[in-house]
Chains A and B, each alone.
Chain A
Amino acid sequence: RKEVEQDPGPFNVPEGATVAFNCTYSNSASQSFFWYRQDCRKEPKLLMSVYSSGNEDGRFTAQLNRASQYISLLIRDSKLSDSATYLCVVNLVFTGGFKTIFGAGTRLFVKA
């Protein structure tokens, strides 16, 4: 089982749609969580951190469920510019260090 798993998609949605991505992680010691966005042929860029209480940034809402070990990203009112790959990222912190694990990403295409 992969340490971080995402539905690879692609998700094809019309403009204005609401789309949700899920990500599961296998290590219960995971401590911090992020969603990154990666445009084609570009580097990943931090979209938002994910907090236990859930957090919202404009049209984007991230949630964490520690009991079920999954995080989600909800995009409301999709724009063409939201088309990208969304990477789920998990930080494991352990004695002596930490480890960052990237999911393989979920591709989103928003169409007019």
Chain B
Amino acid sequence: SAVISQKPSRDICQRGTSLTIQCQVDSQVTMMFWYRQQPGQSLTLIATANQGSEATYESGFVIDKFPISRPNLTFSTLTVSNMSPEDSSIYLCSVESRGGYYGYTFGSGTRLTVV
């Protein structure tokens, strides 16, 4: 399965600022997924990022708040913009394993605390 390098692993940010999270995959993948996991909760999909087109956002998430870049088939970034304490969460990127029928591989996550 793919190996994903995600960074930063954690950060503490001031409210009103923005943080960009990067994910690098060791192989070419069509789709990359960005999730949020709030404390004690399961994973919620933020958006799906395809190379060469705009990301597709899930209900409750908007591009202005979570802009995503997907410049090539091995890399993506998620920016958390104009942060507030409610954005404190773990953010994870993931890719499919063998078309999704074998589940997903996740990056190691970014633990974000907004103060």
Q: Would A46 and B103 count as touching, CB distance under 8 A?
A: yes
Contact with A along B78-113 (1 / 0, CB 8 A): 000000000000001000010011111111110100
Chain B: residues with Cβ within 8 Å of the partner, total of 20
A69 to B94 alpha-carbon distance, docked (Å): 26
Counting CB contacts under 8 A, is B53 at the interface? no
Q: Would A42 and B103 count as touching, CB distance under 8 A?
A: no
A46 to B97 alpha-carbon distance, docked (Å): 10
Within 8 Å CB of B19, what residues of A? none
Q: Would B102 and A49 count as touching, CB distance under 8 A?
A: yes
Q: Would B108 and A42 count as touching, CB distance under 8 A?
A: yes
Main secondary structure of the interface of A (DSSP, over half): strand
Contact of A36 (CB < 8 Å), options: B103, B109, B111? B103
Q: Closest approach, in angstroms, between the C-beta of B88 and any C-beta of chain A?
A: 14
Counting CB contacts under 8 A, is A41 at the interface? yes
A32-B100, A41-B111, A98-B100 known; A46 vs B41 contact (CB < 8 Å): no
Q: Would B41 and A104 count as touching, CB distance under 8 A?
A: yes
A65 to B33 alpha-carbon distance, docked (Å): 29
Counting CB contacts under 8 A, is A64 at the interface? no
Most chain A C-beta atoms within 10 Å of own C-beta, residue among B1, B42, B101: B42
Q: Closest approach, in angstroms, between the C-beta of B4 and any C-beta of chain A?
A: 9
Q: Would A89 and B103 count as touching, CB distance under 8 A?
A: yes
A103 to B44 alpha-carbon distance, docked (Å): 10
A43-B107, A43-B108, A46-B105 known; A102 vs B42 contact (CB < 8 Å): yes
Footprint of B on A, CB under 8 Å?
Answer: 32, 34, 36, 41-46, 49, 87, 89, 91, 98, 100, 102-105
Q: Name 11 interchain pairs, CB-CB below 8 A, sorted by A.
A: A34-B103, A42-B108, A43-B107, A43-B109, A44-B106, A46-B97, A49-B102, A91-B100, A91-B101, A100-B104, A105-B42
